[in-house]
Amino acid sequence: MNTKTIALFLFSLFVLPFSGRAQTEPEDIAMVSDAFQDSFYESLLQKGIENYDKAIVALENCLVSQPNNASVHFELGKNYLALKQYENAYQSFQKATKIDPKNKWFWVGIYDLSFQTKNYERAMTAVQQLILFDERNKDDLIPLYLATNQQEKALALINEMNAKFGKSQERTQFKNQILLATKNEAADWKELGDFKNYLDTKNGNQAAQALYSILANPQIPNTVKHRVVNEFLLFTYQNPQYEAVLEQAILLFDSDKEVNVAQVIGKFYQNKKQTKTAIHFYELALQKEVGAVETNLLLLQAYTTTQQFQELAQKAAEGMELYPAQGYFYYYFGLANNQLGQFYKAKEALETGLDFVVDELDLEINFNLQLAEAYNGLGDFKKKDSYFAKANQLTQMKKK
């Protein structure tokens, strides 16, 4: 299913084409003659290689013998749609639905065409027919209501569908976007508009206060709060004097079980090559989730980048205790101890950890390089050469 987007309000809302396609779209029909069969399959072949004009000619040949074959008209509609001959596409899809109104795919064709041409009223009519096949297809009315500025209807339908079928990620996203876009006059949402205005005017102190107020507001969903923090993070990147505000904001996410906000902020700074700042936020993240594997590994890599090998050795040792079958912690412990001149410690950890490396070629190469370094430090040059050779062999395998 392809995702389409349309611009609504002051930002883009994601609007999906018909979503009720659980089974494969039919392209087979009953054949009554060799000529008909040859022409129909020729149309499928030409459509498959995007020769839509030739596909249409083949389908028109089919209509000579079967002028009321609904599947042929449906295929014609799809080819006309691909050529952006919208009126011809509509006439073909409509003809198919008149011949066989109980085939949902023919209504899907009208929906897709109407959506693509922004004929939302006609798309709603098609969805009303699709609802007869499955009530869950009401979900496809939500983006259409938004496209036609019927936010109240959209919210009412979201609540109805949530009550009947349970919440969905798409509906939650639509609801949050509606609340943000409409800037609801309720006090709960006024802060969002104020926050945006403060950022736009570079009023960092007022933006910080608005941020705290939004994060403390239980009526505003976490998905919206995450977005607000992200906007303030971008502001802080240009105005680093507000980093302390981010730290305070993290404390207000203590109850958030879905996202470790401090880790996300750390990744942002690491991607921006501000590794020391990233380390600070990774360490904050681990105060919330001591045993989080991903955060620990991100921190270990950051320590490596900044050559903080004592800290690297200590944190990697903690990881080996928590996750004794996780090879990465042994690797970082070995790397750190090689850099600290503790070659025997490095060797012991690396040889143990190598047993836990499965189907990770890059990691296996790095293990062998660090083992070569450890044996070089221990004066065993035969073993050193052996591990270097193994690393080289694996590198050649990687290039194949």
95/93 Cα distance (integer angstroms): 5
Least confident of 34-38, 307-311, 336-340: 34-38
DSSP 8-state secondary structure symbol assigned to residue 9: T
pTM of the model: 0.52
Q: How far is CA 13 from CA 68, 85, 234, in A?
A: 40, 27, 21
- Whole-angstrom Cα distance, residue 142 to residue 14? 11
Q: Contact 369/391 with Cβ under 8 angstroms?
A: yes
User: Of all residues in the chain, what percent carry a pLDDT higher than 90?
Assistant: 38
> How many other C-beta atoms lie within 10 A of the C-beta of residue 274?
15
Burial of 164 (0-12, 13-18, 19+ CB in 10 A): exposed
| Res 29: pLDDT | 46
Distance CA 308, CA 312 (A): 6
Please give the angle made by the CA atoms of 295, 300 and 304, to the nearest 5 degrees. 145
Token digits of residue 246: 């981010």
| pLDDT value of residue 17 | 42
What local confidence, expressed as pLDDT, does residue 399 receive?
Answer: 57
Q: Distance of CA 51 to CAs 37, 60, 81, 90, 245, Å?
A: 19, 15, 13, 20, 58
- Give the C-alpha distances (Å, rounded to integers) separating 339 from 120, 332, 342, 377, 390: 65, 11, 8, 10, 21
pLDDT in tens, 323-353: 999 999 999 999 999 999 999 999 999 999 9
The 10s digit of each residue's pLDDT in 118-144 is 899 999 999 999 999 999 999 889 888
Query: Which tokens hold the place of 130?
Result: 């699709």
Give, for 8, the enclosing helix (H) or strand (E). strand 4-8
